[in-house]
A and B are shown apart, each in its own frame.
Chain A
Amino acid sequence: MHAPRISRGGRRVLAVTAVAALALTAAGCGDDGGGGSKNDKSDKSGGASNSSVSLPELGGQKLQVAAVWTGAEQENFRKVLDEFEKRTGAKVTFVPTGDSISTFLGTKIEGGQPPDVAMLPQVGVLRQFAKSGWAKPAGPGATAQLQKNYGKGWQDLGAYNGKQYGVYFKAANKSLIWYNTAVFENAGVKEPKTWDEFLKTAQTVADSGVEPVSIGGADGWTLTDWFENVYLSQAGPEKYDQLAQHRIKWTDPSVKQALTTLGRLFGKKELVVGGQSGALQTEFPKSVSQTFATDDKAGMVFEADFVAGVIGSETKAKVGSDAKVFPFPSVGDSSPVVSAGDAAVALKDGKGAQALLTFLASTDAARIWAQQGGFISPNKSLADSSYPDEVSRGIAKALIAAGDDFRFDMSDQAPAAFGGTKGSGEWKRLQDFLKNPKDVSGAQSKLEADAAKAYKNAG
């Protein structure tokens, strides 16, 4: 399941966007009178000189974009949309959907009033929309941009039955472990590379008197991410895909091995902050804040790049000096890269929606948000220098470097009943496993029973 959208604390408004915003304010004033298109046109010609994408003239058209983003994420996305408005003359409204985007969109579509473009956080939903004909295929403009800027893996994620539908605008790298540098210094340990080193590091941190690994077990999705990273690294991408599509069962020996591996961490009370029962009552934001608020409560916390947002908003720690990050240790041959992301999908035919898809697939659009921070783009043409700090640059690099070997969050690919529901399915079973990490086969059979039911119902 996608993580809660969390805003990033530090906001750097760079000169470029400041100017863009000013220009837009001027344009906006003109718009009120209804004669905005002329203004916009002059702006467009001014901005077109350094743009990497050509967009049609859409003066006076009204577009709607729906996404789950709120707070700072919404503000930053608004900046991207502003640039689009400036270049095309279209008027774009942002529609916040609340947490369950598929329900929201479902009712809109049934009611005959879909937004022009929606940002879908789950692959499963994208495929479902494509299958039922709600989503419209991406046009030649967007496809050209995709081919230029995106790796094949990211293109394929947005495709269904050989047709391109989605443009992955925003990505998350879910294979990161964040650590408190003071704790590591005190314990005299370095960033581990392999799972064994990781456990040893954790043990040394525990010896130094700090509980090493903070787990947000009250939120089931953090546990599915733990499992996915271990499984991807240990069993390999092929098995990962098979399990994601439920072509192999959860009773498979590879699952047993992964759970046993995970149990080496979960099963050691001294390695888990608060012990197993404490972890089960820790929500994700708390798992982050307790790691970085003080230097003696917890050493490390695992989760995606949006951890930086929580660190910024809930603690005084500075990302890059007090809080650093290392890639998820390799359990098998190589470190896993599990990702998630939001794909822009057109829900209405028309030039406007296609133009917006094209723009979102371009490097220009990615750069605007990247400069604001709290954003990782799967766009490989985006220069590293666009990211505002060393940490997000590193995270983005790792994501791009994974090429096509990254895998999309497994629980986001599964039917929601299995992979995305509080208190049931995979979330609940892994919570039970965290409570009793010795019972690997019991966890497996329950996972399989739930999966079988959910995949059957989803058809």
Chain B
Amino acid sequence: MATATAGGAAQPGSPPAPRKSVLGTPRWVAVLFLLPALVLLGALVVYPIGYSITRSLFSADSSHFVWFDNYGEVFTNHDTLTAVKNNAIWVIVAPTVATTLGLIFAVLTERVSWGTAFKLLIFMPMAISMLAAGIIFRLVYEQDPDKGVANAVVVGVHDTFAEASAYPRARPRPNGDLAPSGGGAFTTKAPHEASTPVALPLIGILAKDLPDARPAKPPEQAKEGGKGVTGTVWLDFKPGGGGKPGQVDPGEKALKGVKVEAVKDGKVVASTRTADDGTFSLDTSGPVRLRLPSSNFAEQYAGVDWLGPDLVTPAIIGAYIWMWAGFAMVLIAAGLASVPRELLEAARVDGANEWKVFSRITVPLLAPVLVVVLVTLMINVLKIFDLVYIIAPGSTQADANVLALQLYLESFGSGNNQGVGSAIGVLLLLLVVPVMIFNIVRMRREARR
């Protein structure tokens, strides 16, 4: 700065008399030409800022002066603090990831023949509005794997490795002999002997879903000479109601293929699967407890809760990166084009591998461009609003809150408190100012080079 002023003062053309400039135009002409710009700037930038600052010192209905009460409220309001925290996450994560991805794309596409096509594809999301992107990602993150592509992928991958169970939502009646024994398994409370056949009723399956099931066979004692604990597993629910709980009634369906284990002192001593008519016979002599292991009931995997309270902010940042990585890539690619080839060649001749060339030559040479991209994205991210407003569902909107959204909600959404809204606006301005100053200083320095 000091040098700049010194340089300015030393300029030879500086007129001693303030009335005329170098070319001899009178000052009033200069002012005349500046006037439209000054008026516009004043009306559209300076006045609103000044008004917001004043407004932030007045109460909700702007009737009386409340000093800094609105700011006090901003800093004690839980929602605003969440917004500040989320904004911090946004400012750190979103520009960094977008720039990194942009850098990778730019460097990689430089080498391939179809690079332009690839760049075009990556850049395409920039062409649609934030609102449209928000709606698209609302659908992408839909919970139902049949609708949301993110969960469709997650569930698809999961189901390739883990098998779904036959009766995912089946369960015994509460207060029956079978009780949950942890981990999704059910175990009988009473020990069972070989002499008495065991009834293991389950409910919670839609009878319509078992079109081929045979009618259940009431539990019977093992045949003459046969040993072991026997019983029946069946769907203890008769369509249309009726039927006694715990008893095999006519019309109730057998559950085949259910795994039944005999447990003695916590150890599995025998195990089998039920037959087509729901019966099973375990080759063991009592007393044993019978367990239906959790593999029978494993719930269908529902995918990731993308828009739940924990993942909602990362999910929205993902949508933002989808949009803006292309922007970063194009700027960085332009910078890359001006990197002198000789330096890269020289490094390669000297025996540097590609990683070294990338990290020691390309990135340092690109540093100014990377900084421009980072700072632009930071300013952009500080005012993020639309994506959050659209993607976050009502139940997690507060968890995904950011300052610009909170500003909107306070001013126009609920309380119609434009005093607090203006205070948040001023806070947002204060947060942007350091980045702007940094940007201006940097641009001046660039210009002087």
Task: Mark A residues whose CB is within 8 Å of B.
Answer: 103, 185-189, 204, 206-210, 217-220, 270, 277-278, 280-281, 283, 295-296, 415-417, 420-425, 427-428, 431, 435, 454, 457
Contact = CB atoms under 8 A, between A and B. Distances in A.
Contact of B307 (A185, A281, A428): A281
B412 interface: yes
Given A218-B394, A423-B398, A425-B414, A187 B79 contact: no
A209 B207 contact: yes
B176 to A, nearest CB: 12
A206 B305 CA distance: 24
A185 B409 CA distance: 46
B395 A421 contact: no
Given A188-B242, A209-B204, A218 B398 contact: no
Given A188-B242, A425-B414, A457-B60, A208 B395 contact: no
14 contacts: A187-B241, A189-B241, A207-B204, A207-B237, A218-B393, A277-B308, A281-B143, A281-B307, A296-B206, A417-B415, A423-B392, A423-B395, A423-B397, A428-B394
Contacts of B308: 277, 281
A374 to B, nearest CB: 25
B173 interface: yes
Interface of B: 60, 79, 143, 169, 171, 173, 203-209, 237-242, 302, 305, 307-308, 392-398, 401, 409, 412-417
B240 A186 contact: yes
A221 to B, nearest CB: 9
Nearest to B401: A423
Contact of B394 (A296, A417, A422, A435): A422
A312 B193 CA distance: 57
Given A296-B206, A421-B414, A424-B414, A209 B237 contact: yes
Given A185-B240, A423-B394, A207 B173 contact: yes
A431 B307 CA distance: 14
A186 B240 CA distance: 4
Contact of B414 (A207, A210, A218, A420): A420
Given A218-B394, A219-B394, A281-B395, A209 B143 contact: no
A438 B173 CA distance: 23
Contacts of B415: 415-417, 454, 457
**Main secondary structure on B side of the interface with A:** loop
A295 B308 CA distance: 28
A283 to B, nearest CB: 8
Contacts of B241: 187-189, 204
Contacts of A103: 412
Given A189-B241, A206-B204, A296-B208, A424 B143 contact: no
B164 to A, nearest CB: 17
A434 B60 CA distance: 32
A227 to B, nearest CB: 16
Given A206-B204, A209-B204, A278-B143, A186 B239 contact: yes
A207 B175 CA distance: 14
8 closest cross-chain pairs (CB), A and B = A188-B241, A423-B397, A209-B206, A421-B414, A417-B414, A417-B415, A207-B203, A280-B395
Contact of A431 (B79, B392, B395): B395
